[in-house]
Amino acid sequence: MGSKSVLGVFGYDVIWLMVCAFILNSAMQVTKLGKRIALAIVTRFGQTAKSAILAMIVVNFAISFLIPSTTARAALMLPIAITLANIYNAIPGESNFGKLLMLVNMQSNEISTSGILTATSANVMAVNFIKEATGAQIYYSTWLIAAMPIAIVTTIIGYFVGLKLFPPEIEKVSSEALANMEKEMKDLGPMDANEKKALTIFLITLFLWCTDRWHMAMFHRQIDPTLAAMIGATLCLLPGIGVIKKWGDVKIPWDLMLFSCGAYAVGMALDKTGAASFIINSILSRINLVNVTFFKIYAVVMFIALFSHIIFTSKIVRITILAPTVIAFAKELAPVLNADPTKLVIALTLPAAFTICWCITLPPQSKPNLIYYSSGFYKVRDQLCMA
């Protein structure tokens, strides 16, 4: 690849989204709005480290119904998670509580998305591919009933696995510490003008994230999650309106921005050169259809779909390559198994689509992964172990 293509990664939306997310995070820190929200969570639900982490899981699942973007949700939750970690005196790279808090947020963000049809555009694309190929309609409720139980059970298992791997150093907040936090909450008093400004900017950004499907009707143009975050970040820095008075108050981990660029350059190369799709097609074409059973085929397809995120860093790219490939393969397989082509397409393609969001193995494999990894609370091997 040419240097222009590789260096062009510095302009990718995920890089700018991460920068803007940290500007929003800095606004929440400077105005103490983040501290107020985190203290409210801790004093009401976080008397123990375990309950604080569970509260964050519930929030992630709840906002998955409202915000149709894993990246936007990660950008929303990161400032709150960082402030919550600070309240527990969690030191990045050392604290098991901070490590588990970020990893659970990352996993519940991705896995909850698999259970809701509208939680990401990749899910909707999968349904459209099936409808175009077979005429069968996969409804919202059908997707929810089929995928959400698996998402909930898996997240709960992941939570307990995380507790075993990274037991929090603070098991329970002492009554004295809780009293101090309640006092801190009281001492914050009513929200001041800067907090109200920060909250307003945050709500504007959240509104833009939540209403993306109606943007064309409202604004006559589509505002993607990155542009919405840039609008919020600009408002935070705007003289007279913003709450960040000087650039020095913005804390951005530039080293991790560079890491993200490198990771995306590799993923882009695999995609644009056709190497990734070649690998998948080669595997499927080598399957001997003689004496094959449905469950053997199902296992192979699910394995490919589940681990495709290792070579594709985009959900859209994965579903664009996987869905047509699996659909064509299912149609070819139907006469061999003496099966209804429509049912076989759904039986193989829909479960494969459920796995599109299960990209929790390594940081470069999705934008939310990179956003939470940029907090500095955990290392690559920590994520791999918990996955």
Q: Does residue 134 contact residue 368 with C-beta atoms inside 8 Å?
A: no
Q: Does residue 277 contact residue 321 with C-beta atoms inside 8 Å?
A: yes
For residue 249, give both structure tokens: 């108050």
pLDDT tens digits, 332-384? 788 888 889 899 989 999 999 999 888 898 888 888 898 899 889 999 999 99
Residue 146: is it exposed, middle or buried by C-beta count within 10 angstroms (0-12/13-18/19+)? middle
| Residue 106 pLDDT | 94
Share of the chain above pLDDT 90, in %: 21
Beta-strand ranges (E) seen in 125-275 are: none
In this structure, the number of other CB atoms found within 10 A of the CB of residue 80 comes to 21
- Helices vs strands, H then E, count in the chain: 19, 0
Tell which residue, 95, 80, 75, has the closest CA to residue 169: 95
Q: How high is the mean pLDDT of the chain?
A: 83
| Residue 104 pLDDT | 95
pLDDT above 70: residue 128: yes
d(Cα 168, Cα 160) in Å, to the nearest integer?
Answer: 12
d(Cα 127, Cα 123) in Å, to the nearest integer?
Answer: 7
**Residue predicted with more confidence, 68 or 90:** 90
pTM of the model: 0.72
pLDDT tens digits, 259-290? 667 766 766 676 577 776 677 667 777 776 66
Q: Does residue 159 contact residue 375 with C-beta atoms inside 8 Å?
A: no
pLDDT tens digits, 163-215? 999 999 887 766 776 777 778 788 888 889 999 999 899 889 878 877 777 88
pLDDT tens digits, 19-48? 887 788 788 778 888 778 777 777 777 678
